[in-house]
Amino acid sequence: MPAIFDALPGMEVPVGAIAKSLAQMWTDTAADGRPAITSDDAKATQVNFVLHLGLQTTPEDAARQFDVVVKFSRRTPSRVVVLCPLHADVPTPQMRAKIFAECFLGKSKADKRCVEFVMLSYSRSARPFLENEVSICLSTDLPLYYWAHGFSTSGKLADYRYLLSRAKRVLIDSAIAPSDALTYPWPNPVALRDLAYCRLLPVRQSIGQFLSAYAPEKLVEGIKTVAVSHAPALAAEGRVLLAWLRRRLVACGAGADHVRFEARPMAAGEAGSLAVRFGYADSGRLFQWSGELGTGRAAFEADLGSGRTQLNAAISLLPPENALSEAMFF
C-alpha cells in the first residue's frame, strides 16, 4: 500500500528545518505563482490541531480527511500537524516532513488569512521521538485539539499519552473507531468527543424543537418503548440518537428501567435513513419522526392528548468541517 504521507500535498523538507522552511515559504514567491503574504497578521492562528491518521487509513481516505481540515482551517485559522505512521520500519530517514500552506479571504477582501500545515511520516523505531517533534511544530500559547482517525485498536492510540493528556478535546468518530473507544480509560476522558454525535446536531435540534412544544410530563406519560431505526450505513448515528433520546426523556421524568430503548437496522426496501417512534400504553398516543437524507425531507406525526399533528421538515447532517467545530468548541 502506498504511504499515506505520499498522498498528501506539500513540499518535502528536512525534519530539522521545518520552522526555517515555513518562514522561507512566506518570504519567497511560491513556485506555482501564489504571492507571498505581506503581513504577519495574516498568519494569525487560533488553535493547534493535530490530525493523526492511523494504520487503517488509506491514501484516498487520508486525502479526504486532509481536505476536511483545510476547510475547517478556513473558518478557524490553525497550526495543523498531520501524523502519518508507516506500516513497517524503513531505512533512514525514519521521519520525513512536508510543509503546506494556503491563503484565503475572510469576510472581506482585506481580511486575508493564511494557515500552515506540517506533515510528519514516522516509522515504529522513530515513535519515541514523535512527541518532541510535534511539540516543536505547535504554537506554545494556543490550545491543542487532537483528532485520531483510522486506528484499529484503542490500545495503540493510548500509547500517544502526550497528545491525549494535553489536548483540550480528543476527537474520534464512533462510526469507524474501535468498539471500545467511547468507554476506554483515556488519560482525560472528559475531553473525548464523538464526531458521529456532532454530525447529528441538525437532527437533534429538529426533534428537540418539535418535542419542546409539549410539556415534559405529557411526553413521558405512559411511555413504554423508544425505537430508532437506521439505514445500515448509519448504525453509529442510530446508536447515538437513541442514547440522546434516552438522556432527554429521563430528564423529563421517564423511568429508564421501565422503558425499552432499542435501535435496529432498517430492513431491505424500507424507506428512510433514520426514524424514531415512541410507543405508549395508550394506543391512541404516538410520536414518530422519519427522515431521508437522500432527499433532505423529514416528517413528524404526533398525538399526545391534544389532537393529531403532522409536520414536514428538513433533515441533514453537519458537513465534516462543521462537525469538527461542533466537537471542538461545544
| Radius of gyration over every alpha carbon of the chain, rounded to an integer in angstroms | 23
Residue 81 CA to residue 148 CA, distance in Å, equals 12
Q: Which residues contact 143 (CB under 8 A, 6 or more apart)?
A: 47, 48, 168
Residue 225 CA to residue 221 CA, distance in Å, equals 12
Q: What is the pLDDT of residue 43?
A: 59
Q: Which residues contact 18 (CB under 8 A, 6 or more apart)?
A: 97, 99, 118, 136, 137
**Contact indicator for 225, 259 with CB cutoff of 8 Å:** yes
DSSP code for 100 = E
Average of per-residue pLDDT across 245-269 = 94
* Other residues' Cβ atoms within 10 Å of the Cβ of residue 58: 14
Please choose, from the candidates 84, 105, 87, the residue with its C-alpha nearest in 3D space to the C-alpha of residue 96. 84
Cα–Cα distance list, 107 to 42, 68, 111 (Å): 13, 20, 6
**Contact indicator for 290, 313 with CB cutoff of 8 Å:** no
pLDDT at 28 over 50: yes
Q: What is the pLDDT of residue 38?
A: 52
Residue 16 CA to residue 19 CA, distance in Å, equals 8
Cα–Cα distance list, 37 to 27, 73, 139 (Å): 8, 17, 20
pTM: 0.92
pLDDT at 35 over 60: no
Average of per-residue pLDDT across 223-235 = 97
Q: What is the pLDDT of residue 26?
A: 76
**Contact indicator for 190, 167 with CB cutoff of 8 Å:** no
Give CA 225 to chain center in angstroms. 30
Q: Rounded mean pLDDT of the chain?
A: 91
Average of per-residue pLDDT across 38-60 = 83
**Contact indicator for 11, 100 with CB cutoff of 8 Å:** yes
What is the per-residue DSSP string for 245-303? Answer: HHHHHHHTT--GGGSEEEEEEPPTT---SEEEEEEESSTT-EEEEEEETTTTEEEEEEE
Average of per-residue pLDDT across 43-64 = 92
Residue 328 CA to residue 146 CA, distance in Å, equals 9
Q: What is the pLDDT of residue 306?
A: 87
- At 137-179, the pLDDT tens digits run 998 899 999 999 999 999 999 989 999 999 999 999 999 999 9
User: What confidence category does residue 111 fall into, taking pLDDT thresholds of 50, 70 and 90?
Assistant: confident
- Rounded to 5 degrees, φ, ψ at 299 are -145, 140
pLDDT at 44 over 80: no
Q: What is the pLDDT of residue 88?
A: 78
* Other residues' Cβ atoms within 10 Å of the Cβ of residue 201: 17
Q: What is the pLDDT of residue 192?
A: 97
Q: What is the pLDDT of residue 45?
A: 82
Residue 93: asked if its preceding bond is cis (omega within 30°), the reply is yes
User: What confidence category does residue 33 fall into, taking pLDDT thresholds of 50, 70 and 90?
Assistant: low
Average of per-residue pLDDT across 112-141 = 91
323's grid cell: 462537525
- At 250-259, the pLDDT tens digits run 999 999 899 9
Residue 50 CA to residue 157 CA, distance in Å, equals 13
Please choose, from the candidates 236, 238, 137, 112, the residue with its C-alpha nearest in 3D space to the C-alpha of residue 182. 236
Q: What is the pLDDT of residue 103?
A: 83
